[in-house]
Amino acid sequence: MKRRDFLKNAALGGAATAALATPAIAQDKREWKMVTAWPKNLPGPGVAAQMLADRITTLSGGRIEVKLYAAGELVPGNGVFDAVSEGTAELYHAVPAYWGSKSKGILLFGSQPFGLRADEQFGWLAHGGGQALYDEIYARFGLKPFLCGNSGPQWQGWFRGEINSVDDLKGLRFRTTGLASEMCARIGMAVQAMGGRDMFQALQSGALDAGEFIGPWTDSALGFQQVAKNYYWPGVGEPSSAEECAVNAKVYEELPDDLKAAVSLACESLYNPVWTEYTTKHALALEKLVAEEGVQVKKLPDDVIVALGNAAGEVMAELRESDDELVRRIVESFLAYRKSVAGYMVYADNGQMNARAMDYNY
C-alpha cells in the first residue's frame, strides 16, 4: 500500500470512528428509502448498493436509517432518477450512463468511450474540477450526486458469432448503454438498451446478437455464458464505469453538517473497496468461465478498435458543439484531464503493466 493511500485510509478511519461515536438522538432520526437500478444483491452493483445503505446508517450513528428497495420493489430500475428528483425516495444507487435522456453531459460522469480508468475518473472529480460540474448539472434536477464505486474496465461483451472485421458489426443487434451506444451506432450496429436479465432472454431467444453488461463476476451471475460463448475484450466503450449515489437535494441540504459529512464519507470511502472487489472477483470468475464453462476469450481485431475509436471521436466532437453551455464545459474539462493523465500514464501505469506482461521468470 502506498504511503499516501495509507494516510488517506487512516484519515477516513478516524472520521468513521468519530461518526460512529456520535450518539443517535431519537428526535433527530431519519428514515430514508434508497431505490436502486439493480436486482437485490446482484453480484457487483446490487451488493455495492446494500453496502452503501448500511454504511450511511452506520456512519450516521443510526440517525439516518437507510432501507434499500431493489429495482421494481418501489419503482422500476430506470425510474430511480425521477423518483429521487421528485421526492418519492430520498436517494438512489445507479450509474450515470443511464441518464442520457436527461442530459448528454451526465453521461461523462459515469464512463466515456476510450476515456478514463477508475482511478482517473475519481481523480477528475476530486482534483480536476469535475465534482463542481457534476453538482451543477444534477442540481438542475434537484439532486446532489456522489461517486461511490466503480466496476473497473468493462468488457466488449458476449457475442453469439465471431468478429473478424468492422463489417461483422454492421447491423449487429447489440445491447449497451451510455455514450458507448452512440459510438457503436456510428459504425452501423443496431444498439438496444435493456437490463441484464432482459439481455439474457434476448440473447437466448436470438433477439440480440451480442451485448455487454459489466464483467465476468456480474455477467456470470446473470448466466450470459449459457447463451453466448465468445467473450470479447477490450471493452473500449467503458474503460471504467462509475457507480453513483444521488440524494434529493432538498433533503440533503436540510441535514446538519455532521450528517452531510456522513453521507459524503460513506460514498467516498466505498469507491476503492467496491472497485477492488470487482477487480478481484472478475479475475476469479474469468478463470472459472474459461475452465468450466467453455467460454472463448477473444480480442477485438485492431482495425475494429481503431474504427470504434474514430467513432468515439465523432461523438466527442458533437458534444463539444452542444447547444448546452454546461455540457460544453463538462466535455472540455473531461478532455483536458484525459489528455493530461493519458500523457503521464504512458510512463507510469502503462509502462508498469507492459513490463509485467513481458516473458521472464518470476
Annotated binding site for substrate: 154, 175, 212, 238
Report CA-CA distances (Å) from 40 to 51, 99, 130, 153, 188: 12, 21, 30, 23, 35
Compute the Cα dihedral for 344, 346, 350, 352 and give only its sign. negative
The answer to whether the bond into 234 is cis (omega within 30° of 0) is: yes
Q: Which helix (H) or strand (E) holds 55?
A: helix 45-59
CB 36 within 8 A of CB 92: yes
Grid coordinates in use for 243? 457507480
CB 97 within 8 A of CB 177: yes
Closest CA to 243 of 147, 113, 104: 147
Annotated binding site: 154, 175, 212-213, 238
Grid coordinates in use for 88? 418519492
Annotated binding site for Na(+): 213
CA 125 to chain centre: 14
For residues 23 and 31, give the distance between their C-alpha atoms in angstroms, rounded to a whole number. 16
Give the residue ranges of DSSP H helices in 166-211.
Answer: 178-186, 196-205
Grid coordinates in use for 154? 468493462
What number of CA atoms fall less than 13 Å from residue 223's CA on the CB side? 10
